[in-house]
Chains A and B, each alone.
Chain A
Amino acid sequence: MADVPLDHMQDHHAATVAARRHFLTRFVIYGLLAIFAAIYLVPLLVVVLNSFRDQQEIARNGLISLPRSFRLEAWGQAWSTYCIGGTCEGMQRNFYNSLKMTIPATIISTVVGAMNGYILSKWRFKGSEALFTCMLLGVFIPGQISLMPWAFILGNLGLSNSTYGLIVIHVIQGISFTTLFCRNYYVSIPDDLIKAARIDGAGFWRIFRKIILPLSSPILIVTVIWQFTGIWNEYLFGVVFTSGQQQPITAALVALTASGTNVRAYDVMSAAVLIGALPPLLIYLFGGKYFVRGLTQGAIK
Chain B
Amino acid sequence: MSNHDLILSTPAPARPWRERLGSAMPLLVLGPSLVASFVYVFVFTGWTLYISLSNSSLLPTYGFVGLDNYASLWANRRWNIAYDNLFLFSGFYIVGSMAVGLLLAILIDQRVRGEAVWRTIFLYPLAVSFIVTGTVWSWLYNPTDGIQAMVRGLGWTNFSFALASDRHYAIYAVIITGVWQSSGFAMALFLAGLRSVDADLVKAAQIDGASTFRIYRKVLLPTIAPIFLAVAVIQIQFAIKTFDLVAALTKGGPGISTTFPAIYVYDLMFQRGQIGEGAAAAIMMLAALAVVLVPYSLWVVWRRRKEAGHG
Contact = CB atoms under 8 A, between A and B. Distances in A.
Do A and B share a complex? yes
Interface in B240-285: 240-241, 243-244, 247-248, 251, 262, 265-266, 269-270, 275, 278-279, 281-283, 285
Contacts of A203: 2, 5, 22, 25
Contacts of B107: 29, 32-33
Interface in B30-44: 30, 33-34, 36-38, 40-44
A284 B124 contact: yes
Interface stretch (B65-73, B87-95, B132-140, B164-172): B132-140
B50 to A, nearest CB: 10
A288 B112 contact: no
Contacts of B1: 205
Contacts, number: 254
A285 interface: yes
Contacts of A137: 41
A116 interface: yes
B132 A144 contact: no
Nearest to B227: A300
Interface string B273-308: 001001101110110010001000000000000000
B146 A63 contact: yes
A275 B141 CA distance: 22
Interface stretch (A34-42, A71-79, A159-167): A34-42
B188 interface: yes
Contact of A202 (B2, B124, B196): B2
Interface string B182-193: 001000110011
Nearest to A116: B33
Contacts of A202: 2, 5
Interface residues on B, range: 35 or more
Contacts of B128: 233, 277, 280-281
B26 interface: yes
Contacts of B51: 148
Interface string B103-138: 110011010100010111111111111111101111
A289 B37 contact: no
Contacts of B279: 148
B285 A135 contact: no
Given A240-B266, A283-B127, A300-B230, A147 B282 contact: yes
A33 B230 CA distance: 25
- The 9 nearest A-B residue pairs measured at CB: A233-B129, A284-B127, A296-B192, A206-B2, A62-B149, A123-B26, A144-B282, A64-B150, A203-B5
17 contacts: A30-B112, A32-B107, A40-B122, A58-B145, A62-B149, A138-B37, A141-B44, A148-B269, A176-B37, A203-B22, A204-B25, A257-B135, A257-B248, A276-B129, A284-B127, A288-B120, A300-B189
